[in-house]
Amino acid sequence: MFNKVLIANRGEIALRVIRACRELGVASVAVYSDADARAPHVREADEAVPIGPAPSAESYLRGERIIEAAQRTGAEAIHPGYGFLSEREWFARAVRDAGLVFVGPPAEAIAAMGSKTSARQLATSAGVPVVPGTTTAVRDVAEAGEVASSLGYPVLVKASAGGGGKGMRVVAREADLALALEAARREARNAFGDDAVYMEKYITGPRHVEIQVLADQHGTVLSLGERECSIQRRHQKMLEEAPSVAVSPELRRRMGETAVAAARAAGYVNAGTCEFLLDREGQFYFLEMNTRLQVEHPVTELVTGLDLVQWQLRIAAGERLPFRQEDIVPTGWAMECRITSEDPANGFLPSTGRIGYLRIPGGPGVRWDGGIGIGSEVGLHYDPMLAKLIVWAPTRDAAIARMHRALLELTIDGVATSRDFHLRVMEDAEFRRGDIEIQWLERRIESLTRPNPPAGGKVIAAIAAVLLAERDRSTPGGATATRSSSETAAHRGLPHEDAWLRAGRRDGLRSR
């Protein structure tokens, strides 16, 4: 194992990697921009090196400075986290050329899966089903028109270099094609410096189901099962779970084998993810491979019992995977809510400020992967994700009840956050039935982001008040417990949530 690893990232993922290092007895080096001088990841690491001003182009994206910091501090490896330099082929190559280990796949595998069109070509040649569409960029409107009519509308124009849902446009009819093509190109040029776009059939109502793979340097490639990531806004994930209600053991096996085949075709090593769309008939189509650790990796960790970040480090250090495919069976249910500094009641507008108070949820089955503390400044320089709240429970129903309970415990003062939005999702009957697909959230966004308690909440509150009065009469000590929890809810101005929790308990929302 390495003696020292540098983490080329910030926020919650930097802390996540520092924790893995510490458990493995590896010293950690943080890097930080001027804006992050007092950030939690800097305080937590064994050493920290400043790398430049706040804008990421002048700090977290300065690969050569980061490599220099690793050399100066005597780190043997660099963990890139996600985002920033994690999927830049040149960076993986530069790290290797500097005599250091890149904790991730070989530069060649990043290149092979780097553009969506080259990934589609590779997947097709490995016999992996892809969404119908082109495997090369479209030249002009005329060609796009021909492709669209052969696929049939609606179609999706996508940036070859895409990521984070950028450079993507749904086109419902021919008349809209030219404008959509232009808009996608412009967005792709601005975001990725590359305006190549290609086209896919736009699939209506599928789920986003992805497979986590883990590959060592000795030829073992394993699937760690699926994650359900259909709760998305503007093609971006907001909450994830493992396993998926739509995946049977047989489908899990088939999707797993397909992901392993795609990873093998790319010469993949380390942790990676194959993303698929899964339709109602159980057909699945490869979307892309993410050649890095994913934000949502904890849900896989909780159902498999494997520490993915530790395995990333062990694989990078040359260790063999000591388990076989048949050893990996998901147990129970895990769910993750992305807690962002965005205001759901205000179109998810990014919110800035200083964290004045923070109450982190705890108790059975709750995990908090956060990157903030009291006093943290939340600005506009970086991604708005403040933390991930993750729960595990034996069943999906129990996981939902636990997540709702944990969200109620969470208090973040100083910035608007996505907390209340997630509470509403947990309260939603369709979500609770698992009746979701990638367009579900956009369809329901109004009811899930309404600033005031819904009328139903008042009804539930009234019912709950009666039930509580009954319970208080029959349970010794009940009155005290009740008073304190409603005080907490009232303090936040959200009485309906507390009432929902109590009513939910009676509805049998407990683990079954």
The angle at the Cα of 460, spanning 454 to 466, to the nearest 5 degrees, equals 150
Count CB-CB contacts under 10 A for residue 105: 28
Residue 275 or 427 having the CB closest to ligand ADP: 275
**Hey, what long-range contacts does 131-136 have (CB within 8 A, 24 or more apart)?**
131/200, 131/201, 131/203, 131/277, 131/285, 131/286, 131/287, 132/200, 132/201, 133/198, 133/199, 133/200, 133/201, 134/198, 134/199, 134/200, 135/198, 136/198
202 contacts ligand ADP (rule: CB under 6 A)? yes
272 contacts ligand ADP (rule: CB under 6 A)? no
165 contacts ligand ADP (rule: CB under 6 A)? yes
Residue 50 or 165 having the CB closest to ligand ADP: 165
> Parallel, antiparallel, or unpaired: how do β-strands 353-354 and 377-378 relate?
antiparallel
Residues 75-104 interacting with ligand ADP (rule: CB under 6 A):
none
- In 25-62, which residue ranges form alpha helices assigned H by DSSP? 40-44
Strand intervals (E) in 384-434: 385-393, 411-413
Q: How far is residue 36 CA from its own chain's centroid?
A: 22
Cα–Cα distances (Å) from 248 to 213, 348, 435, in that order, read: 18, 35, 16
Length of the chain: 512
The angle at the Cα of 497, spanning 494 to 502, to the nearest 5 degrees, equals 140
Widest distance between CA atoms in the chain: 76
Residue of 369, 130, 397 whose CA lies nearest to 241:
397
Tokens of 134: 């082109």
Which region, judged by CB under 6 A, interacts with ligand ADP, from 29-37, 157-165, 309-317, 365-373? 157-165
Q: Which of 232, 291, 312, 376 is close enough to bind ligand ADP by CB under 6 A? A: 232
Q: Which of 18, 222, 262, 287 is close enough to bind ligand ADP by CB under 6 A? A: 287
Kindly state the smallest distance separating residue 291's Cβ from ligand ADP, in Å: 12
Residue 56 or 294 having the CB closest to ligand ADP: 294
Calpha distance 114→426 (Å, rounded): 35
Which region, judged by CB under 6 A, interacts with ligand ADP, from 195-203, 377-385, 397-405, 491-499? 195-203
Q: How many residues bind ligand ADP (CB under 6 A)?
A: 19
33 contacts ligand ADP (rule: CB under 6 A)? no
Residue 164 or 434 having the CB closest to ligand ADP: 164
163 contacts ligand ADP (rule: CB under 6 A)? yes
Residue 430 or 507 having the CB closest to ligand ADP: 430
203 contacts ligand ADP (rule: CB under 6 A)? yes
Kindly state the smallest distance separating residue 153's Cβ from ligand ADP, in Å: 12
Calpha distance 337→180 (Å, rounded): 32
Which region, judged by CB under 6 A, interacts with ligand ADP, from 38-46, 138-146, 196-204, 395-403? 196-204
User: Residue 344: what residue type?
Assistant: P
User: Residue 276: what residue type?
Assistant: F
Q: Which of 87, 89, 200, 301 is close enough to bind ligand ADP by CB under 6 A? A: 200
Q: Which of 162, 330, 344, 384 is close enough to bind ligand ADP by CB under 6 A? A: 162
Residue 49 or 203 having the CB closest to ligand ADP: 203
Kindly state the smallest distance separating residue 236's Cβ from ligand ADP, in Å: 7
Sign, CA dihedral 363-368-371-376, equals: negative
Tokens of 40: 């939690």
187 contacts ligand ADP (rule: CB under 6 A)? no
295 contacts ligand ADP (rule: CB under 6 A)? no
Site string for ligand ADP, 324-343 (x = CB under 6 A): --------------------
Calpha distance 245→396 (Å, rounded): 9
275 contacts ligand ADP (rule: CB under 6 A)? yes
Q: What share of the chain is helix, strand, coil (3-state, %, to 5)?
A: 40, 25, 35
Kindly state the smallest distance separating residue 209's Cβ from ligand ADP, in Å: 10
Kindly state the smallest distance separating residue 104's Cβ from ligand ADP, in Å: 17
381 contacts ligand ADP (rule: CB under 6 A)? no
Site string for ligand ADP, 234-263 (x = CB under 6 A): -x----------------------------
Calpha distance 370→384 (Å, rounded): 12
Which region, judged by CB under 6 A, interacts with ligand ADP, from 198-206, 260-268, 383-391, 423-431? 198-206
Q: Which of 61, 438, 503, 509 is close enough to bind ligand ADP by CB under 6 A? A: 438
Kindly state the smallest distance separating residue 175's Cβ from ligand ADP, in Å: 20
Cα–Cα distances (Å) from 92 to 3, 63, 99, 220, in that order, read: 20, 9, 11, 22
Residues marked as catalytic: 292
Residue 295 or 391 having the CB closest to ligand ADP: 295
Residues 466-495 interacting with ligand ADP (rule: CB under 6 A):
none
Is the CB of residue 170 less than 8 Å from the CB of residue 252? no
Which region, judged by CB under 6 A, interacts with ligand ADP, from 2-10, 61-69, 197-205, 242-250? 197-205
Is the CB of residue 177 less than 8 Å from the CB of residue 281? no
Name the residues that contact ligand ADP, by CB under 6 A. 131, 156, 162-166, 200-203, 208, 232, 235, 275, 277, 287-288, 438
